Structure 1
């Protein structure tokens, strides 16, 4: 009786999660399906394309510089993510292991900057970038996005939960702070680092306002601006728009699929702390 009851209860989470999964996946499925529909079938209610075609992809690539935009977006997202991860690891290690004057005040100020929307500081950043002569330059996209307060706060919490006995043992063996950080701490924080990297990458990949304000030409802008180009006052070109959106989603989906185990492990371990 107990086994049957446990088995019966085991179906309850699946009965709840399966409809939620379908609701979450359906918009992505509809985007890919719409990108394969011919123009005269774009508003069809069928959940699959009646006559699949790649015309929307061809039209999108002929209309805008898709590949340069994807290249710029990849450079922007990867470089920004790596820079934010590096600065977050170093800053979190300093806050966790060292004590210096006004360290708590500095940590509080960093936490407060996380609460300030980027749109608030976007104009001052633009004025600074403009005076540096970096408008319509990929480097200008990176400069305000090399440090993430969210990343620092997350890694501070992860490093505080790291066993101090392991760190002290490494220091007794003669390892300095730099070696302890990169040889002991970082390799054992793979799960939270992978989860953080995915969050930072997706956030940067989907960035829209800052590139919209800063870039001028198609060869220097990102794919999110390219998607917006198919939304015009004369009407929305849904087929090419869905095609370019599908291309923009593929790298993010591939990265998440490759690192999904680390992300799940990170959330599980965070819930056990």
Structure 2
């Protein structure tokens, strides 16, 4: 990062307002607007984005194909946040390289921490683990798991000493058993290197790096699976499968190409 950009980010961090209580569909990152898009300041441990390669220092430049360049922070947040359980495609720049990833939004809650909450979270413990995090949640957060505590947007270590309740927020996520069925590929899964080549109402064309039984799935805009086609012993290289999309409405769909050792997924428009 150049000196000017680094100075701008540090200034933004120093001037960051206290986070208000919010309940929303999100991916688990804290961001700051920069000219090219939004700078990822923190990836919340255990959140949806933590299952991807997105890291602190990356810049998200587009969401579902909508550019964030030159936008303001409210517009960018509005694009990243949205319907819970719905997949969202992020295009980002990491170390000069542009990549894209699909993340399924989760039900997240950011809530102020008071003195009593800080004491309950930290106490006199020398160490802190996920099991203890989960047992903290109660009341409004009873169906959510506490992932992290933030101080002005920065994650605070669980074993930190002398922590004040001033400007602290807890970040919660819906417990996994509260989610509906997963429609988007699991981002923890290894990519199989497959690539979608074309997508229309009659055929889906793709290339495989490695031969093997392949399942092509099509999911709708709300994450529901609308089609699944199995190809036994699909060869490496170009493949094409027939399917019937005549009765589906036009719009964006997720096409996932699954093999036993990995998954690739991409959004595509059905005209």
TM-score (norm 2): 0.25
Tell me which of the two structures has the higher relative contact order, counting C-alpha pairs closer than 8 angstroms and 6 or more residues apart.
1
User: Max radius of gyration: which structure?
Assistant: 1
More helix by share: 1
More strand by share: 2
TM-score (norm 1): 0.25
